[in-house]
């Protein structure tokens, strides 16, 4: 064999050896490491996972029903049935009416109750007012006091001394107390709109028409009913 042939054979042999080495390297090696291990606990058992407690959630705050911006609060002022309505008491009522009317935050619509109209809760049943503020007396106290009542929540507010009738911020203080009660969970009473006089008259008229119609129908049916007379003749 010539020198040129021997060189070609050497190159072919070298290339073949390289392919064999590459094939062996491509084969996956068997895993010869540790396939099992013992737990570090004394009993050899798997440790149990400690459940993670749910994060405590606080209850949502109560929904506070507030008046829209610039909405007026309806307030009724008057004397309690226990107040005799003396000249001095009427002067107190005048001052109370003035202080409630001048309220700006929140703005108000004030009406004055006639003497002897009833207590605050019965006035709230008419559903005309958001709040009733009356001047009256309480057992064990000789001096007159201010007795506010929240109609929307149907609860009595804190009693005030008589000097509160001259405070321009009286309504603001009472309305703040109203909001505090709502935040404590006192819910607003559902208010159903009152029927207008025309609506009540329409209902009464409708009922009357139905009654009269039924009566007329009975009379007509009775008049059109066939009557048969059977006469028996005996020998």
pTM confidence score: 0.55
Q: How many residues does the structure list for the chain?
A: 235
> Is pLDDT at 134 greater than 90 in this prediction?
yes
Give the least confident one: 117-121, 127-131, 162-166, 221-225. Answer: 221-225
Q: Are strands 155-156 and 131-136 parallel, antiparallel or unpaired?
A: unpaired
Confidence of residue 65 (pLDDT cuts 50, 70, 90): very low
What is the maximum alpha-carbon separation in the chain?
Answer: 169
Whether the CB-CB separation of 80 and 147 falls below 8 Å is answered with yes
Residues 45-68 as b or e (16 or more Cβ within 10 Å = b): eeeeeeeeeeeeeeeeeeeeeeee
Please give the residue that has the higher pLDDT: either 46 or 92: 92
> Is pLDDT at 15 greater than 70 in this prediction?
no
Q: What span, in angstroms and rounded, lies between the C-alpha atoms of 149 and 123?
A: 10
Q: What span, in angstroms and rounded, lies between the C-alpha atoms of 5 and 118?
A: 132
> What percentage of the chain reaches a pLDDT higher than 70?
57
Please give the residue that has the higher pLDDT: either 51 or 171: 171
Residue 44 confidence (pLDDT): 52
Structural domains in the chain plus CATH codes: 73-183 (3.40.50)
């Amino acid at each position: 064999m010539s020198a040129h042939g021997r060189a070609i054979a050497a190159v072919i042999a070298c290339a073949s050896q390289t392919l064999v080495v590459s094939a062996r390297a491509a084969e996956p090696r068997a895993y010869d490491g540790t396939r099992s291990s013992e737990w570090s606990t004394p009993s050899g058992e798997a440790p149990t996972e400690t459940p993670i407690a749910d994060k405590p959630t606080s209850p949502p705050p109560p929904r506070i029903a507030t008046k829209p911006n610039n909405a007026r609060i309806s307030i009724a002022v008057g004397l309690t049935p226990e107040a005799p309505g003396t000249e001095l008491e009427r002067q107190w009522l005048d001052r109370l009416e003035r202080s409630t009317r001048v309220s700006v935050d929140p703005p108000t619509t004030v009406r004055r109750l006639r003497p002897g109209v009833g207590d605050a809760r019965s006035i709230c049943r008419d559903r005309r007012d958001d709040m009733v503020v009356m001047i009256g007396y309480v057992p064990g106290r000789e001096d007159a006091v201010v007795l506010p009542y929240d109609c929307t929540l149907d609860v009595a507010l804190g009693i005030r001394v008589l000097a509160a009738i001259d405070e321009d911020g009286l309504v603001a203080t009472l309305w703040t107390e109203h909001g505090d009660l709502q935040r404590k969970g006192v819910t607003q009473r559902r208010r159903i709109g009152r029927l207008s006089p025309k609506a009540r008259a329409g209902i009464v008229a409708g009922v009357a028409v139905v009654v009269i119609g039924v009566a007329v129908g009975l009379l007509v049916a009775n008049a059109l009913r066939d009557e048969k007379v059977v006469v028996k003749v005996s020998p």
